[in-house]
Amino acid sequence: MRYRAFFFTIDATLSLFLLIAAMVVAAYLAIQGEEDLHLQVQTIRAARDVLFFLDREGVLESADDGLIEASLDAALPANMGARMFIETYYYDNGYFYSIDMSEYGDEIPAEKTLYWLRHAFVSVKNKQVTNYSVVRMVVWQK
């Protein structure tokens, strides 16, 4: 009779542990679901389109600060803010050397959900790679 009570206690404890674990998982998933997934996808797609547009138009490759700043402001949707970091590497004798780090766009807000994107491109002159650049862009909803 004693053993039956012992096993019942272990069974009840295990059941309570599983119930608490299930409640913790459900609460975690509910908190994660508060952010609108469609808004996140829309923001990232719009930012990716802006990066590809700036690359295709040759704005990023130009390294003209005024042109990059104006084009970024013009290409972004009105409900988005962005800050872009461009790090450029010079190619010489088979190696890339960091030569420049530039920043463009708005200041990054403290209380917003941020989405990061990355894009790389090369500059070619006379069929030779001259520069390799990495663009990191952070975007948010205004």
User: In terms of pLDDT, which residue wins out, 41 or 33?
Assistant: 41
Count the Cβ atoms, other than its own, within 10 Å of residue 88. Answer: 22
pLDDT value of position 137: 92
Over 90: is that where the pLDDT of 74 sits? Answer: no
Highest-confidence segment of 31-35, 61-65, 104-108: 104-108
- What per-residue confidence (pLDDT) applies to 22? 92
Would you say the pTM of this structure is higher than 0.75? no
6: confidence class by pLDDT, cuts 50, 70, 90: low
Q: b/e map of 5-37 (b: 16 or more CB within 10 Å)?
A: eeeeeeeeeeeeeeeeeeeeeeeeeeeeeeeee
Q: pLDDT for 83-126, tens place per residue?
A: 999 888 887 777 777 777 888 888 888 888 889 999 888 877 88
Buried b / exposed e along 119-139 (16+ C-beta atoms within 10 A): bebebeeeeeeebbbebebbb
Q: What is the distance in angstroms between the CA of the first residue and the CA of the last residue of the chain?
A: 68
Q: What's at 58, amino acid-wise?
A: G
Point out the least confidently predicted range of 30-34, 36-40, 48-52.
30-34
Residue 89: the pLDDT is: 85
